[in-house]
Amino acid sequence: MTPQRQGVAVRLEGLSRHYGAVRALDGLDLELAPGEMVALLGPSGCGKTTALRLLAGLEDADAGRDVVDGRDLTDVPVSKRDMGMVFQAYSLFPHMTARQNVAFGLRLRGRSSAEQRSRAGEMLELVGLSSQADRYAHQMSGGQQQRVALARALAIEPQVLLLDEPLSALDAKVRVQLRDEIRRIQLDVGATTLLVTHDQEEALAVADRVGVMRGGRLEQIAAPGEIYTSPATAFVAEFVGLTNRMDGVAADGVAQVMRARIPLLPGSVASGPVSVLVRPESVEVHTQRDGEAEVVAASFLGSLGRVRVRTADGAVLLAQVPTGGAGVLQVGDRVSLALRPVPALAVSRD
Amino acid sequence: MPLTSRVRGGALLGVAPFLAFTTIFLAVPTLVVVVGAFVDTGGRPTLANVAGLRQGYILDALLSTLELSLTTAVIGAVVGALLAYAVVTAAPDGMLRRSVSAVCGVLAQFGGVTLAFAFLATVGSQGFVTLYLFDHTGLAVPGDLLYGLRGLGLVYVYFQIPLMVIVFLPALDGVRVQWREATESLGGSTWQYWRHVAGPLLMPASLGSTLLLFANAFAAYATAAALVSQGSPILPLVVRATFTSEVVLGQANLGKAIALAMVVVVAVVMTGYAWLQRRTSRWVG
């Protein structure tokens, strides 16, 4: 296979974009190292798609600039930016076969038919669809179509690969398969990649770093593990993964919650009454006839289970337990609770 | 009775009025035309009526009808497509889209005597525009503007354009913005997008719509009948003459043969339209 161009550095500086009175992007600063995959994660309307579209050149920024490989592309039209893009869905040209779709970028560049055919063949092989080369979009599944779209984006050897929620229209099983495949291919070709998604699992699974966005700004950007274990804000803690808000009292970098002393993460409220954001896996549940809490719901999730328990003071906590535990625990069971001393974020009580 | 059978029975009952209507007003008349084209006044089988189609005045009328239909179809298709494009690029729930769609829905069905009268009252020899132009600019609108083929063309275009907007809008709506963005991100210009993507995708729909407009003009009768009382420049009026002429009697079956020829032309055109529509719906929408 033809070696792909090495990834390049990307820098977004103070990007802002308004739609009327709505502030979609509010001075976003973001850097991507060459060959890195960064996922922008956030709820609808947080500005993640706007950021990607500004980088692609599909929309104009009100302020700020985007710099790729040291070159300011802010005023460069989309067709001159040399970026491959995969859209949410339905972006394949329906009157072209998979091979023609993949070769289209090269055709626009005036490459020879032989080169178009050979490169399209390579790309389709890369995404595992050589056998589907002569099929039209309507003859392929959603997952296959997105693979072809990825092959088409990569065929032009882009400086940057932009993925705009490429898996959101697919069913759960295909989504997991394809996300792993996208990561493998991205590592193979070494393209600097910006992935936009609202699916936290997807972001955490494939990206080198995850940027959590809210209200047009980055709340936190860090490696997936760090985002999960050391959230910088309550929003990040509660958007990424599940969280219990538990009352406690903070002092000297530690919060006293129930009978446990929980080390506090940087950025926590340092003293006084606080809400501590505790992950379900930090809550231990033990069956005990005279336990202080009662199981109010139990769900089986395959390799693990989750139970909801109501404490003596009426608070409802979510705990993650091994599958056996979820199976054994029944609604109405009395249980005792314990907290693992895993560092957590403490915020002011609402 | 099983539920599916009852549902099927109910559905049949629901479409029965429609089936009865089309049987009485479409199937039976078509049958009368087909049979009548191949019998003489005494009801004996003959090919004379079909052979009569080669007469000069009928061939002239056929050519004029084809010319009128083709011209108004092409003008209607081009102007209507541009208008439809302006509508789809406007805000989806905006005033422009809603008002143009509503107006086109009405105007596409605005034909016959009403339309003829509207034009007579506007640009007829005593029409208010004719009088206004003459009084204020000295410009004289030709008195016979509306009564020949050119006048018919002008009037036909009035309902062809809105019809094009109505039938072409769904195809334009089916063109996804991602295709344009994908083309641009792959390095394509606007011209390349239209040449390689939007153009080929919309071609079947635009050809199909043009065929529909052609058939619409080819079969139009009432507007022409209201405007043209002297002579029969187009086939529908020739058919009328074969039934109503007080000069040449016994031409009814020739009229049926002409009508049959028109049915064949429209059937061929509509088959092409249906084929192109199927092809488009596979890609777009």
Helix (H) or strand (E) holding B56: helix B56-89
Contact residues on chain A for B184, CB-CB shorter than 8 A: 57-58, 77-79
pLDDT tens by residue, B16-32: 999 999 999 999 999 99
Mean pLDDT by 10 residues, chain A (350 residues): 67 94 92 96 93 95 94 94 90 94 95 95 92 92 93 92 92 88 90 94 94 95 96 94 93 92 93 94 90 90 88 91 70 92 91
The domain covering A242-348 belongs, at the CATH homologous superfamily level, to Nucleic acid-binding proteins (2.40.50.140)
From A85, A91, A156, residue closest to B179, measured CB to CB: A91
Q: Are the CB atoms for A107 and B189 separated by under 8 Å?
A: no
pLDDT at B3 over 70: no
b/e B127-145 (16+ beta carbons within 10 angstroms → b): beebeeeeeeeeeebeeeb
Q: What is the pLDDT of residue A290?
A: 87
pLDDT at B13 over 90: no
| Alpha-carbon distance values, B179 to A79, A82, A183, A211 (Å) | 13, 17, 25, 28
Going by pLDDT thresholds of 50, 70 and 90, the confidence category of residue B245 is confident
Q: ∠A109-A110-A111 over CA atoms, to 5°?
A: 95
Q: Which of A78, A92, A152, A168 to mutate to test the interface with B (most CBs of B within 10 A)?
A: A78
pLDDT tens by residue, B149-176: 888 999 999 999 999 999 999 999 989 9
Q: Which residues contact B279 (CB under 8 A, 6 or more apart)?
A: B204
Q: What is the CATH number of domain A10-234?
A: 3.40.50.300
Q: Pick the residue with more confidence: B3 or A190? A: A190
Domain boundaries, chain A: 10-234, 242-348
**Domains in chain B, ordered, with CATH?**
56-283 (1.10.3720.10)
Q: What is the pLDDT of residue B140?
A: 84
| Among the ranges given (A51-65, B39-53, B57-71, B222-236), the one the predictor scored with the smallest mean pLDDT | B222-236
Smallest CA–CA distance, residue B161 to chain A, in Å, is: 28
Average pLDDT over residues B80-108: 89
Give the whole-angstrom CA distance, residue B162 versus residue B109: 9
Smallest CA–CA distance, residue A303 to chain B, in Å, is: 39
Going by pLDDT thresholds of 50, 70 and 90, the confidence category of residue B249 is low
B29 closest CA partner among B272, B275, B263? B263
From A83, A107, A109, residue closest to B185, measured CB to CB: A83
pLDDT at B1 over 70: no
Q: Are the CB atoms for A162 and A194 separated by under 8 Å?
A: yes
